[in-house]
């Protein structure tokens, strides 16, 4: 039947050149492989472990650069928002408002996002089960917005690890919403003494293949031409030149599933 969709881009808006490089490359790959593509970059990082970490270029600049990508490639774009008053502002620039996992229970934020009329993509908290995301879906639908998506990003497994429970893909699809696998943040290794969250990008393929096999509708993959030099999430992002080979395998797998 139809293919999975892809939400991809660098973790944070570092520069216009970076957005342009990633968007152009991924746009071409997705066009060739028949994958609907949503460009992603955060215009602000509001919950870095350490206050001294990079948080963005400023909200206005970040949103403006996202809009440029959107217009140039005719792509939907997405970013996360962190406070209810950001929802209406961000909605002028972006197509999908992403609710961070730590904030998925904040009713005011969910409602403000819902009221923009944009698609709202709620990331499942590391402390929540798939079935309990029903209540997040209801908060948004009750605010008059039926366009909800849910994203799996792993659950707390001891202090310094996350585990992806694929039962959650099955359980969240029962809420009647598209379900996305976040292949990047699921591999985080939190609570490092350094104050910098770790990761394991060598396992992105494992996480993505299991998601497609179990019926995920979309994948979220952060990618960067040089992760080691990235200003956020460098430990987890997929090197841009590895994306195409991975997507080819996943498209083949998808055809065997649907």
Shorter beta-carbon distance to a copy of itself: residue 22 or 116:
116
Residue 209 to residue 254: CA distance in whole angstroms:
9
Shorter beta-carbon distance to a copy of itself: residue 77 or 104:
104
Site for a copy of itself in 196-225 (CB under 8 A): 200, 203, 206-207, 209-210, 212-214
Shorter beta-carbon distance to a copy of itself: residue 138 or 241:
138
Shorter beta-carbon distance to a copy of itself: residue 224 or 254:
254
Q: Does 78 bind a copy of itself (CB under 8 A)?
A: no
* Pair 100, 124: CB distance under 8 Å: no
Residue 194 to residue 42: CA distance in whole angstroms:
23
Q: Does 58 bind a copy of itself (CB under 8 A)?
A: no
* Pair 136, 150: CB distance under 8 Å: yes
User: Nearest CA to 197 among 222, 160, 168, 167?
Assistant: 160
Shortest Å, Cβ 54 to a copy of itself? 12
Site for a copy of itself in 81-120 (CB under 8 A): 82-85, 102-103, 105-108, 111
Q: Does 40 bind a copy of itself (CB under 8 A)?
A: no
User: Nearest CA to 42 among 83, 93, 91, 78?
Assistant: 78
Shorter beta-carbon distance to a copy of itself: residue 25 or 189:
189
Cα-Cα-Cα-Cα dihedral sign, residues 133, 94, 242, 2: positive
For residue 99, the cross-strand partners are 122
Residues with Cβ within 8 Å of 73's Cβ and at least 6 positions away in sequence, in order, are: 23, 24, 27, 39
**Residue ranges binding a copy of itself (CB under 8 A):** 46-51, 55, 82-85, 102-103, 105-108, 111, 125-129, 131-132, 134-135, 138-139, 142, 155-161, 163-167, 169-170, 190-193, 195, 200, 203, 206-207, 209-210, 212-214, 252-253, 255-257
């Amino acid at each position: 039947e139809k293919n999975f969709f892809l939400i991809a881009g660098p973790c944070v808006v570092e520069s216009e050149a970076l957005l342009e490089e990633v968007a152009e490359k991924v746009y071409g790959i997705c066009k060739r492989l028949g994958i609907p593509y949503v460009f992603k970059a955060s215009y602000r990082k509001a919950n870095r472990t350490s206050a001294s970490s990079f948080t963005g270029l400023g909200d206005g600049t970040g949103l403006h650069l996202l809009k440029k990508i959107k217009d140039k490639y005719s792509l939907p774009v997405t970013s996360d928002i962190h406070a209810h008053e950001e929802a209406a502002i961000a909605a002028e620039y972006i197509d999908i408002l992403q609710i961070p996992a730590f904030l998925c229970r904040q009713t005011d934020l969910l409602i403000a996002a819902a009221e923009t009329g944009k698609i709202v993509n709620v990331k499942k908290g590391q402390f929540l089960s798939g079935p309990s995301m029903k209540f997040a879906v209801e908060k948004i639908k009750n605010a008059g917005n039926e366009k909800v998506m849910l994203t799996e990003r792993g659950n707390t497994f001891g202090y310094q690890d996350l585990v992806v429970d694929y039962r959650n893909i099955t359980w969240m699809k029962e809420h009647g919403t598209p379900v996305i696998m976040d292949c990047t943040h699921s591999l985080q290794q939190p609570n490092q003494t350094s104050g910098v969250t770790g990761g394991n990008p060598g396992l992105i393929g494992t996480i993505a293949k299991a998601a497609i096999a179990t019926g995920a509708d979309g994948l979220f993959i952060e990618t960067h031409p040089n992760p080691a030099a990235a200003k956020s999430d460098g430990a987890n992002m997929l090197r841009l030149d590895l994306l195409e080979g991975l997507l080819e395998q996943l498209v083949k797998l998808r055809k065997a599933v649907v």
